[in-house]
Amino acid sequence: MSIGVDPADPPSAVSVSSDDLPADAVEPCATTAAVSGITPEPVMFSERDRRFMALAQAAAEEARAAGEVPVGAVLVHGDEVIAKGFNHPIGGHDPSAHAEMAALRAASQKLENYRLPGCELYVTLEPCLMCAGAIMHARIARVVFGARDPKTGACGSVVDAFANPQLNHHTTVTGGVLEEECGAALRSFFADRRRAAREARAALKNDPGATDALQDSHPIN
């Protein structure tokens, strides 16, 4: 496959991490309307969007298996998955190792091009500012995300980087695809982590020498 080359513009990257996302950071959507007593209109997404988001969810489970916050991404051109990535800042000792960054890097290496025009990025959690910046530099045509991130989301939750025409006029954004499922994966991860922390504290209380258990329960801190 041929992707246009523009050799004039160097790539760049910035950094933020979702690895300390609080337990309550990802809530199901439609809360505003539900609280006000108005039944939210169901949003219909295409079978194609749901299918690629499901692949991003599978990538997120690879992050979970590695002890990382479960966020996954796939990069798509047409109907071809070019690359996938999962969140791994802890294991990678890399604050920029978000799922989107991993997928962008893998796709760029594969295509030998730092620009990825015409490609779509599917990610289970709303991109942060770092990833939004990288997405813009890569000239990604469309971003599709699952759960919203009210703490660091840069597609409307905290800031809307893609809405600023001075910053970007290449990327369209679709949010909320498989939102509940994507959010549930994150909530279960943090619930498990809180449970492990409680158990470790209880073990320490019963056996003050059991500091290893407490340390093991805080893989991110």
Q: Which positions lie near Zn ion, rule CB under 5 A?
A: 98, 128, 130-131
- The number of angstroms, rounded, from the C-alpha of 79 to the middle of its chain's C-alpha atoms is 21
Give the active site residue among 41, 61, 68, 100: 100
User: Cβ of residue 63: shortest distance to Zn ion, in angstroms?
Assistant: 13
Listed in sequence order, the residues at least 6 apart from 90 whose beta carbon sits closer than 8 Å to its beta carbon are: 19, 67, 68, 219, 220
What is the enclosing helix (H) or strand (E) of 130? helix 129-137
Closest CA to 64 of 202, 169, 188: 188
User: Cβ of residue 38: shortest distance to Zn ion, in angstroms?
Assistant: 32
User: Cβ of residue 126: shortest distance to Zn ion, in angstroms?
Assistant: 9
Q: Is 100 a catalytic residue?
A: yes
d(CA 201, CA 74): 38
Count of beta carbons in the 10 Å neighbourhood of residue 209: 7
Pick the closer one to Zn ion by CB: 128 or 177: 128
Pick the closer one to Zn ion by CB: 99 or 111: 99
Catalytic residues: 100
